[in-house]
């Protein structure tokens, strides 16, 4: 029996709920009903805690795609599978469902056998996610007995990282399934669009993995004693390195006109690879969490023989509590433009600065913007003679 498993049906036609209820009768599910998208969203956590959501696409005022997108933007409900119920057959409509975050869809008129199969499939995914969450919670409790601060550090990373992996993985899988089920019906343009969705998800997965490996590398470098000195081979000035990288990052966001760079000339005591990691994470955050036609400024000047870098944006910003918890891998619910993250970006930047005994300071005003200030050593500093190569 499936006792305790809850399914929320969102449909503006009550008769459709009665039909679904009859098809799922005897399965042991607890069914809830919402007549529109707004009621469904408001009911989450108050009246319903669904394990699966059956969501009608064609509804007045707020259609199913908008509802799906809204629910998937809510961190506490992102893991709940959403099955879109639709009479639409155009591949563009199905692709829109996938882009909104839908996990599966079923066509009208609904087949009872297919409905039960798809619900069971989504429940298996949800149960696996819940199992991971439960295991993570048990692990957190165990670590807490040893060190409370380490519990938060590892616990938050484990819980958010599993979701961050699952989201792009579902995008890749859904694209392949859509191609597999409808390959004979798709024209070249439709196939290219679906492949594009899958490719985008695969690249997101690749980037997440690379960032995690970068963080692990920096952890090892920070904790081990450096026994060799890296001599300069092909030093270059920061004015030839930093502006080029900042412009390349701005171009990826289509916001070259929003960027301003003012960097004083000089040589810096940090390898080009580490400087690239540092700037990539900070500039990525600055553009990702600020809107188009708002400024992103990169300023660098030499003060007391150290380079002081500032990256300023006029974006969403963070609260003081969020700034204080950067080291704990907390995902800050900064959902401007649907952006999310595992909390690694600022932590990687901070680790790079720590590696060179620099200073890392964040000042931010919620809803007004963020400024990151970094102090780095010059190339001729004897304690750390690494230079850009």
The pLDDT tens digits of the residues spanning 357-387 come to 889 998 888 888 999 999 988 765 434 433 3
In a domain, 151, yes or no: yes
Whether the pLDDT of residue 52 is over 60: the answer is yes
**Average pLDDT for 235-254:** 82
Chain-centroid distance of CA 195 in Å reads: 21
One domain for residues 201 and 123? yes
Instruction: Quote the domain boundaries for residue 305.
Output: 238-376
Question: Kind of pairing, strands 30-34 and 6-10?
Answer: parallel
One domain for residues 242 and 193? no
One domain for residues 369 and 273? yes
* Mean per-residue pLDDT over the chain, rounded: 80
Helix (H/G/I), strand (E/B), else coil: 302? strand
One domain for residues 146 and 290? no
CATH code where residue 70 lies? 3.40.50.2300
CATH code where residue 271 lies? 3.30.565.10
One domain for residues 171 and 275? no
Q: Provide the terminal-to-terminal Cα distance of the chain, rounded to the nearest Å.
A: 64
In a domain, 195, yes or no: yes
One domain for residues 192 and 319? no
One domain for residues 119 and 247? no
- Per DSSP, 54 falls in state E
**Average pLDDT for 336-355:** 67
- 142 contact partners, CB below 8 Å, separation of at least 6: none
pLDDT band, residue 53 (cuts 50/70/90): very high
In a domain, 385, yes or no: no
Its pTM stands at: 0.49
How many structural domains comprise the chain?
2
One domain for residues 209 and 69? yes
pLDDT of 147: 54
**Average pLDDT for 321-326:** 70
One domain for residues 251 and 193? no
pLDDT of 367: 84
CA distance 283 to 255: 12
One domain for residues 153 and 268? no
């Amino acid at each position: 029996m499936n006792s305790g498993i809850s399914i929320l049906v969102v449909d503006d036609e009550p008769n459709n709920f009665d039909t679904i209820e009859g098809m799922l009768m005897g399965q042991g599910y607890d069914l809830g009903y919402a007549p529109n998208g707004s009621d469904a969203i408001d009911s989450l956590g108050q009246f319903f805690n669904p394990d699966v959501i059956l969501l009608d696409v064609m509804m007045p005022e707020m259609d199913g795609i908008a509802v799906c997108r809204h629910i998937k933007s809510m961190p506490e409900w992102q893991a709940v599978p959403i099955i879109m119920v639709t009479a639409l057959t155009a591949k563009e409509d199905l692709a829109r469902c996938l882009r909104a975050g839908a996990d599966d869809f079923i066509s009208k008129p609904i087949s009872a056998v297919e409905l039960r199969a798809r619900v069971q499939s989504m429940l298996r995914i949800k149960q696996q996610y819940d199992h991971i969450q439960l295991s993570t919670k048990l692990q957190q409790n165990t670590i807490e007995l040893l060190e409370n601060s380490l519990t938060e550090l590892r616990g938050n990373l484990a819980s958010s990282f599993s979701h961050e992996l699952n989201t792009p993985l579902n995008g890749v899988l859904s694209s392949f399934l859509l191609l597999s089920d409808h390959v004979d019906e798709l024209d070249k343009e439709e196939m290219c669009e679906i492949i594009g969705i899958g490719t985008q998800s695969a690249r997101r997965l690749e980037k997440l993995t690379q960032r995690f490996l970068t963080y692990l590398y920096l952890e090892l470098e920070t904790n081990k004693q450096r026994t060799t000195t890296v001599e300069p081979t092909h030093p270059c000035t920061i004015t030839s390195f930093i502006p080029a990288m900042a412009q390349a990052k701005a171009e990826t966001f289509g916001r070259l006109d929003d960027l301003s760079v003012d960097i004083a000339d000089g040589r810096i005591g940090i390898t080009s690879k580490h400087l690239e990691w540092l700037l990539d994470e900070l500039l990525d955050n600055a553009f990702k969490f600020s809107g188009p036609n708002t400024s992103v400024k990169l300023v660098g000047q030499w003060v007391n023989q150290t380079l002081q870098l500032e990256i300023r944006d006029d974006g969403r910003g963070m609260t003081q509590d969020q700034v204080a918890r950067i080291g704990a891998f907390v995902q800050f619910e900064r959902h401007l433009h649907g952006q999310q993250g595992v909390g690694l970006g600022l932590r990687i930047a901070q680790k790079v600065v720590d590696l060179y005994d620099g200073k890392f300071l964040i000042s931010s005003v919620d809803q007004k913007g963020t400024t990151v200030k970094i102090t780095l050593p010059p190339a001729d500093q004897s304690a750390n003679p690494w230079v850009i190569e």
